[in-house]
A and B are shown apart, each in its own frame.
Chain A
Amino acid sequence: MNEYFHSVNLDKDKCRGCTNCIKRCPTEAIRVRKGKARIIKERCIDCGECIRVCPYHAKTAISDSPDIINDYRYKVAIPAPSFYGQFEKKYSRDNILNALRDVGFDHVFEVARAAEIVSEATRQLLTNSLVRKPMISSACPGVVRLIQVRFPSLIDNIVKLESPMEVAAKIVKTQLQESRNIPAEEIGVFFISPCPAKVTSVKSPYEKQKSYVDGVISIKDIYLKVLSALNNPHNGSKYSEAGFEGIDWANSGGESGALGTENVLAVDGIHSVIKIFDEIEGDRLSDVDFVEALSCSGGCLGGPLTVENVFVAKTTLKKHILEAPAGCTEKMTPKSFEELVWTSNVEYKPVMKLDDDILKAMEKLEKLERICDGLPGLDCGACGAPNCRALAEDIVREIANETDCIFKLRQRIRDLAEEMVDLGGKVPPVMDNDPNGE
């Protein structure tokens, strides 16, 4: 997949060109043009804010169709910890995992189990004084992409460990090859996802060349099938392996809570994340060694591809957490730690830069300031840009005009009308019959 693959997408037929999404986007990545929203691909971080806010459901997430599993002989589902929060409390974790298997999979492996392994590796990193603090969790791909476009100075703070999803896929593939002699190419591993950014992570990973995951199916798309399988249970296997700490990753505060230190901070909701990152960038956050930042309010349980209301899901998950055993992660060997480390790194994407040539960029910034001063400052969005400053920026980038502003346009028309009236009153000298004249 190309560098700018995005899961978040626009359904043009449903879009009415309102300005809800452009105002909510944390990277100002959306403009309205010709009556339709348009996503600036370079800026989009797949956080899903626009999906949530769109009143016409025109913003969608592209995920894989549940049929994709048929491309593989041996099909494995790896559900996100948030999956458990989607069903009523009366179902046990194994009920849910068996039902998931029954919709067409051969095997199920919990991402929550892999989360415990990542927690253990993170605990090791925390004690390493050479690691830049505060460490920032890489669990949320939307947040990592936010850092790439808006907080380049925090790139070195990112925890460069594989995500629980990747670790789960890797473990289950290895297990199946070794214990059941199934050839790697016949195993398809599918993440059951609350999150559009995870789709992007699998299609175009930033941390390595290729993902271990073969497809990402949204919780929404598979929910009804699992629900009906829950009501026709048979053939129960024990798939639940994870302890409560792994399951708690679905919540905001779960990942950081597993680290065994008080010097952690958990923040959720992309706009709140931005505020905390401003604090870190400004060196104003003391006594915090680890920051868990999640793009969605309520953490992964609040993901745009979930079904259940986030607060309801929270209480359900709480039940699963209370029922789960303590974690069962043994000390990690240096070799298995090494295997978790990213093989490539995220790069700064200077999408806010006005020009590659610094001199030209300065000229553009000056022009931008001038234009911005002349705009009404109402941030009405009628021009299709999220605010007046963004319009000024678009003008210097030559993708918008000053008269896109309805107030500017009105002023221009008024000036023109005044000039016309003025001109209409003028009479050529030969026709001037004014008796008072010469």
Chain B
Amino acid sequence: MSTIKLKYDIPANDFVAAGEASSNVKKKLAQIGIAADKIKKAAIAMYEAEINAVIHANGGTADVEICLDRVIIAIIDNGPGIPDLELAMTEGYSTASDNIREMGFGAGMGLPNMKKYADKLDINTEVGIGTKVTITVYFI
């Protein structure tokens, strides 16, 4: 089965460039002809993961695999890892610094939103090593 593999760098501390990868993926899904609601789910979940990598982990990479029936988005960083995943999944819980909050980020909705919009969400994290968030959205 044919798949399209895309790779993006997520730059560190760059809130302007953050979100470029997800908006790029959004355009590509539209070119393939994926339904608008599925594109929306994938784009929002990916955006949140991208922003998280920028805020907490000095950036990272995004590996995107577009298949006929799904898109799999893996956001990988070498950041601090998430000590308490369950707590981090709570709406409104955030460890973002004050200056990040001043920029309008850090509302504690990143992971909850990913969970809300992804059909499948896998998080592998190790403190001091990094985090890999894998988002799957099914088209069918």
Contacts and interface: CB of A to CB of B under 8 A. Distances in A.
B87 interface: no
Interface stretch (A69-77, A292-300, A345-353): A345-353
B30 interface: yes
Among B3, B19, B36, B66: residue with most chain A CB under 10 A: B36
Given A353-B33, A362-B2, A368-B31, 20 more contacts: A153-B36, A282-B19, A282-B43, A282-B44, A282-B47, A283-B44, A284-B47, A348-B36, A350-B30, A353-B31, A354-B31, A358-B32, A359-B2, A359-B68, A361-B31, A361-B33, A362-B68, A364-B31, A365-B4, A365-B31
Interface in A351-394: 352-356, 358-359, 361-366, 368-369, 393
Q: Main SS of the interface on chain B?
A: helix
A282 B113 CA distance: 11
Contacts of A281: 26, 40, 43
B114 to A, nearest CB: 12
Contacts of B2: 359, 362-363, 366
29 contacts: A153-B36, A153-B40, A278-B23, A281-B40, A281-B43, A282-B22, A282-B44, A283-B44, A284-B47, A350-B30, A350-B33, A352-B31, A353-B30, A353-B32, A354-B31, A354-B32, A355-B33, A356-B33, A358-B33, A358-B34, A359-B2, A359-B68, A361-B31, A361-B33, A362-B3, A362-B32, A365-B4, A365-B31, A365-B32
Nearest to B34: A358
Contacts of B53: none
Q: In which size bucket is the chain A interface? A: 20 to 34
Interface of A: 152-153, 278, 281-284, 348, 350, 352-356, 358-359, 361-366, 368-369, 393
Nearest to B35: A152
Nearest to A366: B4
B120 interface: no
B129 to A, nearest CB: 30
A393 B44 CA distance: 25
Contact of A365 (B28, B37, B43): B28
Nearest to B27: A352
B113 A362 contact: no
A393 B31 CA distance: 10
B33 A354 contact: yes
Interface of B: 2-4, 6, 19, 22-23, 26-28, 30-34, 36-37, 39-40, 43-44, 47, 66, 68, 113
B68 A358 contact: yes
Nearest to B107: A286
A358 B67 CA distance: 10
Main secondary structure of the interface of A (DSSP, over half): helix
Nearest to B139: A358
Contacts of A366: 2, 4
Contacts of A361: 31-33
Contacts of B27: 352
A45 to B, nearest CB: 16
Contacts of B34: 358
A61 B40 CA distance: 35
Nearest to B39: A153
A369 B26 CA distance: 15
A393 B113 CA distance: 33
A265 to B, nearest CB: 15
A199 to B, nearest CB: 28
Looking at A350, A362, A363, which has the most chain B CB atoms within 10 Å of its CB?
A362
Nearest to A361: B32
A147 to B, nearest CB: 11
Contacts of B47: 282, 284
A147 B61 CA distance: 31
B82 to A, nearest CB: 23
B109 to A, nearest CB: 9
Contacts of B43: 281-282
Nearest to B29: A365
B140 to A, nearest CB: 10
Contacts of B4: 362, 365-366, 369
